[in-house]
Amino acid sequence: MIDGKAEALWGKAEWSEMFVDIEGVDHEKPYWGTRFKMLWSKAHLYIFAQMEEPHVWANLTRRDAIVYRDNDFEVFVKPDAAGDEYFEFELNARNTVLDLLMTKPYRNGGKALIQWDATEVESAVDIQGTINEPGDVDSGWSLEMKIPYTDLAFYGKPIVPVEGRFWRINFSRVQWEHQVLNGAYFRKRKNNGSLVPENNWVWSPQGIVDMHYPEQWGYLFFTKEAKDYSIAIKEWQKFEVWDLYYELMKYYNRKRTYEGFNVAGAIDDSWTWEDYMDSDLFYVKLYPSEGNYYFVLDHKGNLQTKYYE
């Protein structure tokens, strides 16, 4: 039963590491702990998350409201690691859900399809204390999700996990400073009326305050027995390609042109490449020193892996 509680079944799963700041471990450590567990079956992905929180509050109750305007827990999942589309779920302590489908990242012109609904997902929240009661101190809140693979499909068949395969996934917790007005919780505001910025705590650091860089998410391997997995060298090579892309974006933001970008200064000298660039376009083929493939990258952040015949 999905009830938001850590029942006996969850004893089979290991806890994740505690969340860190979205920009990385060298930034301020979160002041409340957050961690999660996962399990899987032939038909579902299961998630259990635990949040330390002495003041559990939530105001939003309408489905598909912008839930991160409350404190929330967020799941970002990309079953097709090579595709553009991915899914996002946001839940607050009232179990209010925002679910959406991203056609691709915002930076590439992606759209958030909020009208999309994961109709078969089950979720529940358990409060360790009392919700929306400023007069006491709570321990925290937990949530549980049961996500059918059939809900994670985009114009086609769902990608059913296979032993040893991976998806890309990340988890985020948005945590606001609060104030109490007339016995109710609200997001805290500065003297000038603007909101105190939220805290963004995550499992896999993004290096930027933006969850919509799926190439920075963690790897979710599916296994029937507890074991360690390592990602293939091709995935490590992609990190190098993405570093080049980030340098390209910095260059364009300074110069307002791609022309003159120094590929050699942005990637290890073990690589070879062919590039084309002008004021509005950038295109490069990147050949790693090992592997039967090469990468194609453009200025919109479209990255493809091409295999030699």
Looking at the predicted structure, is the pLDDT value of residue 309 above 80? Answer: no
Share the mean pLDDT of the chain: 95
CATH number of the domain bearing residue 115: 2.60.40.1190
> Around Cβ 266, how many Cβ atoms within 10 Å?
19
Same domain, 149 and 90: yes
Same domain, 174 and 31: yes
Looking at the predicted structure, is the pLDDT value of residue 164 above 90? Answer: no
Same domain, 138 and 269: no
Looking at the predicted structure, is the pLDDT value of residue 100 above 90? Answer: yes
Residue 114 CB contacts under 8 Å (≥ 6 apart), including other chains: 64, 98, 100
Which domain covers residue 297, as residue numbers?
A: 233-307
Residue 172 burial by Cβ neighbours in a 10 Å radius (0-12, 13-18, 19+): buried
Q: Find out whether 56 and 178 touch, Cβ atoms under 8 Å.
A: no
Q: Find out whether 116 and 152 touch, Cβ atoms under 8 Å.
A: no
Looking at the predicted structure, is the pLDDT value of residue 154 above 90? Answer: no
* Closest of 154, 201, 193, 153 to residue 173, by C-alpha: 201
CA distances from 104 to 78, 87, 123, 207, 215 (A): 11, 10, 25, 19, 12
Same domain, 31 and 144: yes
Residue 193 CB contacts under 8 Å (≥ 6 apart), including other chains: none
Domain assignment present for 214: yes
pLDDT of residue 81: 85
The first and second tokens of residue 43, run together, are 């038909």
Domain assignment present for 180: yes
Domain assignment present for 18: yes
Name the pLDDT band for 64 (thresholds 50, 70, 90). very high
Domain assignment present for 194: yes
Percent of the chain with pLDDT over 90: 88
Q: 3-class DSSP state for residue 37?
A: strand
Same domain, 17 and 112: yes
pLDDT of residue 137: 98
The first and second tokens of residue 158, run together, are 């769902």
Strand residues in the chain grouped as ranges (E): 20-21, 34-40, 44-52, 72-78, 86-91, 97-102, 112-113, 122-128, 140-148, 166-175, 178-181, 184-187, 199-202, 218-221, 272-277, 282-287, 293-298, 303-307
Same domain, 258 and 123: no
Residue 168 CB contacts under 8 Å (≥ 6 apart), including other chains: 77, 78, 81, 86, 214, 215, 217, 218, 219, 220
Of 189, 221, 253, which one is at a domain's C-terminal end? Answer: 221
Tell me the C-alpha distance between 238 and 245, whole Å. 10
**Phi, psi (rounded to 5 degrees) for 167:** -110, 170
Tell me the C-alpha distance between 307 and 295, whole Å. 9
Residue 192 CB contacts under 8 Å (≥ 6 apart), including other chains: none
Query: pLDDT tens, 180-237?
Result: 999 999 999 999 999 999 999 999 999 999 999 999 999 999 998 877 888 899 999 9
Domain assignment present for 1: no
pTM: 0.93
Query: pLDDT tens, 236-286?
Result: 999 999 999 999 999 999 999 999 999 999 999 999 999 999 999 999 999
Query: pLDDT tens, 26-40?
Result: 999 999 999 999 999
pLDDT of residue 230: 85
Tell me the C-alpha distance between 209 and 249, whole Å. 16
Same domain, 22 and 78: yes
Same domain, 170 and 110: yes
Same domain, 29 and 104: yes
Tell me the C-alpha distance between 256 and 248, whole Å. 11
pLDDT of residue 101: 96
